[in-house]
Structure 1
Amino acid sequence: MGKIVIFAWLLVLVTATLPAVNSKYYSKTQTFDAPATLKKTHLHFFFHDTVYGANKKPSSILVAKPKKVVVQEGNIGPFGAVYVFDDPLTVGPDPKSEVIGNGRGMYASVSRGSDPTLLFNGDLEFTSGEFNGSSVSLFSRDPIFGVKEVAVVGGRGKFRMAKGFALLNTIFFNVTSGDAILEFHVTVIYY
């Protein structure tokens, strides 16, 4: 027993005299060889968000809501309501037009005031054409009314390390159901 106590004290003394670990939250900045030219692509498509819908097959569902607040079908506005979505992306505004991908993510109502605002977090993946298997990632505040600008913060596939912006315009909104069709004009800059 005495040998264990002596060993423990030696271990304490040795570790107490060691210099403190100097950890940092960043690494040394290094340069890297990047391609000399950046690419820029403009994307234009439509995003169909069905919160309730006539066919009762929603592509957006409520997953969290504020306590003691009743959220009516189609009312995406109460502060604190969170929805997840898996919405089709199409070439035209008609829901029956050609599907070119899907948008998956979540949005939350983040405004307590008279300016209804969502926080939009989504990955828009393309499943056909030149960008099949690639996606752009968006994250930004999204005022419900008017033309909105949402930040492109990354991407996958051909859009890896993308940046840019998306202009969203609501071309259809059903106040009763909450269903919406948004027109996306996306400018993507990538290597």
Structure 2
Amino acid sequence: MMSMKGTSTMAKAAAIFSIVFLSLLVAGKSQLFSRTMSRQELGLKKEKLSHLHFYFHDTLSGRNPTAIRVAEAPTTNSSATLFGAVVVIDDPLTLKPEPSSKQVGRAQGIYASAAKEEIALFMAYSFVFTEGKYNGSTLSVSGRNPVPSAVREMAIVGGSGLFRFARGYAQARTHWLNFTTGDAIVEYDLYVSHY
């Protein structure tokens, strides 16, 4: 017959074994969190460079605005740069600068007035394409937009659909601006590396 001390020692050993065994199981499963893959596994072929050109219509005024201020600081309206204003957008993208031109997608996201001394926006938005071979694909843009500059450059930080693994840059040029309402038409050139 086994003594109480022997039973206690065996119980402790069994508990330690169980803890070690469970730890190994958990550690084994955590290895499934990530793995190295080849491009071929995802069907990725040769990388290409695409140039996209369109116009962005940012309308803050009227009965059907596509850009709406959703937040502001207590001092925003007394600031010369509207510092602290946050705007949500769902702006149409067209082939030509005329609003009646063929729509190729939407720009959806936010921008905020992020500079106290100059008019500069921080922009985080996606171009959602609705036409041609890129229909259903998106490009995500993030960066600083110093509005008075003739050409502004922002980073393309990713994409979806035919733009998976995208990277590149967007150049923005103001085509038209109403200083009273803030409405603007902006010409965009995108240079995108993707598969």
Partners of 2:75 and 2:146 lie apart in 1 by 25
Partners of 2:188 and 2:71 lie apart in 1 by 27
* Counterpart amino acid of residue 122 in structure 1: Y
Partners of 2:97 and 2:72 lie apart in 1 by 30
Partners of 1:37 and 1:128 lie apart in 2 by 24
- Name the TM-score, length of structure 2 as normaliser: 0.77
Partners of 2:126 and 2:33 lie apart in 1 by 31
Deviation at 1:144, TM superposition (A): 0.7
> For 1:25-83, what per-residue CA distance to the aligned partner results, in whole angstroms no more than 9, with x for missing partners?
xx99964322462111110000000011xx421100110011144379xx8x3111000
**1:3 paired residue number:** none
Aligned identity (percent) is: 39
Over the aligned positions, Cα root-mean-square deviation in angstroms equals: 2.7
| Residue in structure 2 matching 1:70, options 50, 70, 77 | 77
**1:23 paired residue number:** none
* Counterpart amino acid of residue 100 in structure 1: V
For structure 1, the 5+ residue unaligned runs are: 1-9, 20-26
Q: Is the 8 A contact 2:76 2:84 kept in 1?
A: no
Partners of 1:172 and 1:86 lie apart in 2 by 18
* Counterpart amino acid of residue 56 in structure 2: F
1:39 aligns with 2:42: no
Structure holding more helix per residue: 2
Q: Is the 8 A contact 2:83 2:114 kept in 1?
A: yes
* Counterpart amino acid of residue 65 in structure 1: E
1:154 aligns with 2:171: no
1:118 aligns with 2:121: yes
Partners of 1:41 and 1:109 lie apart in 2 by 30
Q: Is the 8 A contact 2:76 2:85 kept in 1?
A: no
Quick check: which has more Rg, 1 or 2? Answer: 2
> For 1:135-158, what per-residue CA distance to the aligned partner results, in whole angstroms no more than 9, with x for missing partners?
100011111112100100011110
Q: Is the 8 A contact 2:76 2:83 kept in 1?
A: no
Partners of 1:136 and 1:41 lie apart in 2 by 12
Q: Is the 8 A contact 1:65 1:71 kept in 2?
A: no
1:46-57 matches, cutoff 5 A = 46-52=55-61, 55-57=62-64
Partners of 2:77 and 2:160 lie apart in 1 by 38
| Residue in structure 2 matching 1:58, options 46, 49, 65 | 65
- Name the TM-score, length of structure 1 as normaliser: 0.78
